C-alpha cells in the first residue's frame, strides 16, 4: 500500500523573525491583533516600532479587517469574520486528515477511523485498513451509538454532567454487546476515565471481538466534535497492547487538530 507522509507542522513556539518588507509587517500586525486587543500587546507581539504598528492598524481598520471598541480595544473586523466564515465552509476534514491517517496505519498496522459527532451518534468519515487479512464491519457513512465507541466517548468527555444526563435521557444507552455501558453512572465513570487518560477505549462494546483506542480531534476553537481511533481484533492484540497505541492515536489526532487551526 502506498502511504503519504503528513506535512510537517511548524512549531508555534519560535519567535517571529524580523519582517523584510511591508507585506510581512502587515501580516505580522494582523496576526497579533487577532490574538491581542491592546495596542501595547500588539506592539510587543510584533516587535515593530509603535509608529509602524499604529499606521498598519489604521489601514486595517479602514479596510474592515479590524474594528475598535468604545473602550479602545482592537477586535476582528467584519472583513475578517466574513472571510473566516467562508474559509470554514470550504474545509474538508477528510482531505486534511487522510495523509495523517495513512501514515498512522502504516505505523501501527491496524484499521484507523476518523469520525464526527452527528446528533447523538458517531458518523465515520474515514476508514483506512492495514495490511492485515481481516476487515472491520464498519463503513464510511455508518452511524454508531456514541456511548459504544472510543470516538464517541472522546466527544462525551467534553460534556458537562447535566449535558451527559440529557444525552442519556434523549438517546438512551442501547446494548450492542455484553460489554456495552448501559447506565448513566457507568457512563459518567467512563468519561471521567477518558478525561484522566486523555484517550478513550472500546473493549468489545460496539462489536464482539473488536477493541480500539481513540483520541479527540479539536477544531480551530478547541471544540471536540471529531475523533480518531485505532481498531483491531482482540485476538491480534491484548488490551494492554491496544492501550499502548494510545500515544500514536493522540499524536496523530493532535496533528490533525493543528492542521485544522487548533493551537494548544
Q: Compute the distance between CA of residue 233 and CA of residue 229 in angstroms, rounded to an integer.
A: 13
Cα–Cα separations (whole angstroms), residue 65 to 25, 61, 71, 76, 90? 15, 6, 18, 6, 20
Cell (9 digits) for 2: 502506498
Lowest mean pLDDT among 14-23, 150-159, 210-219: 14-23
Strand partners, 127: 113
Cβ atoms within 10 Å of 100's Cβ, excluding its own: 26
For residue 29, name the pLDDT band (cuts at 50, 70, 90): confident
Q: What residues contact 165, with CB distance under 8 A and at least 6 apart? A: 184
Domain residue ranges of the chain, discontinuous segments joined by +? 22-89, 93-259
Phi, psi angle pair for 128, to nearest 5° = -125, 120
Secondary structure class of 22 (helix, strand, coil): helix
Higher pLDDT, 81 or 218: 218
Is the pLDDT at 101 greater than 50? The verdict is yes
Cell (9 digits) for 245: 497505541
Phi, psi angle pair for 140, to nearest 5° = -60, 130
Most confident of 54-58, 188-192, 229-233: 188-192
CATH topology of domain 22-89: Arc Repressor Mutant, subunit A (1.10.10)
Is the pLDDT at 263 greater than 50? The verdict is yes
Higher pLDDT, 194 or 57: 194
- Average pLDDT taken over every residue of the chain: 85
Cα–Cα separations (whole angstroms), residue 61 to 37, 40, 46, 55, 106? 13, 17, 18, 10, 48
Tell me the per-residue pLDDT of 126-139, one tens digit each, with 9 for 90 and over. 888 887 766 666 67
Please indicate, yes or no, whether the overall pTM of this predicted structure exceeds 0.85.
Answer: no
Sign of the torsion angle spanned by Cα atoms 161, 181, 248, 241: positive
Is the pLDDT at 11 greater than 50? The verdict is no
To the nearest whole percent, how much of the chain has pLDDT over 70? 86
Cβ atoms within 10 Å of 88's Cβ, excluding its own: 12
Cell (9 digits) for 10: 511548524
pLDDT of residue 104: 96
pLDDT of residue 201: 94
Average pLDDT on 12-23 reads 58
What CATH number was assigned to the domain covering residues 93-259?
3.30.450.40
Amino acid at each position: 500500500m502506498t502511504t503519504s507522509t503528513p506535512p510537517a507542522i511548524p512549531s508555534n513556539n519560535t519567535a517571529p523573525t524580523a519582517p523584510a518588507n511591508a507585506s510581512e509587517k502587515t501580516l505580522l500586525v494582523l496576526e497579533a491583533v487577532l490574538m491581542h486587543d491592546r495596542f501595547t500587546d500588539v506592539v510587543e507581539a510584533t516587535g515593530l516600532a509603535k509608529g509602524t504598528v499604529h499606521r498598519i492598524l489604521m489601514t486595517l481598520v479602514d479596510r474592515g479587517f479590524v474594528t475598535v471598541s468604545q473602550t479602545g480595544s482592537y477586535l476582528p473586523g467584519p472583513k475578517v469574520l466574513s472571510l473566516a466564515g467562508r474559509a470554514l465552509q470550504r474545509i474538508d476534514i477528510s482531505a486534511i486528515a487522510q495523509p495523517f491517517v495513512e501514515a498512522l496505519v502504516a505505523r501501527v498496522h491496524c484499521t484507523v477511523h476518523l469520525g464526527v459527532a452527528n446528533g447523538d451518534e458517531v458518523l465515520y468519515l474515514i476508514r483506512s485498513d492495514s495490511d492485515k487479512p481481516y476487515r472491520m464491519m464498519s463503513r464510511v457513512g455508518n452511524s454508531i451509538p456514541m456511548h459504544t465507541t472510543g470516538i464517541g466517548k472522546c466527544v462525551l468527555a467534553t460534556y458537562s454532567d447535566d449535558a451527559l444526563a440529557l444525552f442519556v435521557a434523549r438517546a438512551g444507552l442501547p446494548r450492542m454487546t455484553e460489554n456495552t455501558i448501559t447506565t448513566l453512572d457507568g457512563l459518567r465513570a467512563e468519561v471521567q476515565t477518558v478525561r484522566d487518560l486523555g484517550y478513550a477505549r472500546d473493549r468489545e462494546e460496539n462489536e464482539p471481538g473488536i477493541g480500539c483506542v481513540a483520541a479527540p480531534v479539536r477544531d480551530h476553537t478547541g471544540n471536540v466534535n471529531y475523533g480518531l481511533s485505532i481498531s483491531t481484533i482482540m485476538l491480534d492484540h491484548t488490551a494492554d497492547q491496544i492501550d499502548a497505541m494510545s500515544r500514536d492515536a493522540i499524536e496523530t489526532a493532535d496533528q490533525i487538530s493543528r492542521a485544522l487551526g487548533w493551537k494548544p
